[in-house]
Amino acid sequence: MKVVSVLTAVAMICSLFLFAPPILAHHSFAAEFDANKCRDFTGTLTKLDWQSPHAYFYLDIKNEAGKVENWSFQTYALITLRRNGTDRQLFIENMGKEVWVRGCLAKNGKERYAAAGTLKFSDGVLHQVGQLQD
């Protein structure tokens, strides 16, 4: 009986730490992407995959050796993009044009794949298109 009480007390104390604020993490950026590996990307927009839960866009980016590589970037949910004014048409109108992105690499080591945080199309307007925790 005493053992049970002690276990319960320990569980109660642990609960306090486990569920310390902020209690909510809707969708953990840190689980999938590395906030220590964020950088700027500039490339040409080649493709848009506009489906839920996340949009993906693709850029042709020159690497340090001058070779062009195609990168994919994950964004917020489509609903969030629509509500902040970054709608599908913006991407369509900028297809083939230069895009600047601040993004963070995937933790699983997948090559040429990142989470997009902020983005500028050729008009220079800053858009928040995903979490950016660097």
Partner 1 sequence: MKLHLRYSLVWAVVAWMLIVSGNAQNTAQNTEYTIKVLPPGGPPPRLADGHPDLSGHWFPNGAGQGTSGRFGVDPAAVSTFDPKVTPEERPVFQPWALAKIQSMTPTELELSKSSVNCMPRGVPAIWLQNPYTTLMVHKPDMLVQLYEVLNNWRVIHLDGRPLPKYPEPLFHGNSTARWEGDTLVVESVGFDDRTYIMPNGWFHSDELRVTERYRRPSMNYLMVEVTVEDPKVLEKPWKSAPRRWTLGNGDVYEFYCTNNKELEELQKLRELELKPGK
Choice from 47, 53, 92, 93 touching partner 1 (CB under 8 A) = 53
Residue placing its CB nearer to partner 1 in the complex, 12 or 65: 12
Characterize 23-34 residue by residue with b for buried, 16 or more Cβ atoms within 10 angstroms of its Cβ, and e for exposed. eeeeeebeeebb
Instruction: Determine the 3-state secondary structure of 5 from DSSP.
Output: helix
Site string for partner 1, 106-125 (x = CB under 8 A): xxxxx---------------
Does the protein bind partner 1 through residue 82 (CB under 8 A)?
A: yes
Does the protein bind partner 1 through residue 26 (CB under 8 A)?
A: yes
Long-range contacts at 8-17 (CB < 8 A, ≥ 24 apart)? none
Q: Which stretch binds partner 1 (CB under 8 A): 18-26, 39-47, 63-71, 89-97?
A: 18-26
Do residues 117 and 34 lie in contact, with contact meaning Cβ atoms separated by under 8 Å?
Answer: no
**DSSP code at position 57:** E
Hey, what amino acid is at 8? Answer: T
Which residues contribute to the site for partner 1 (CB under 8 A)? 7-8, 10-12, 14-16, 18-21, 23-28, 31-32, 49, 51-54, 56, 74, 76-84, 86, 106-110, 126, 128-130
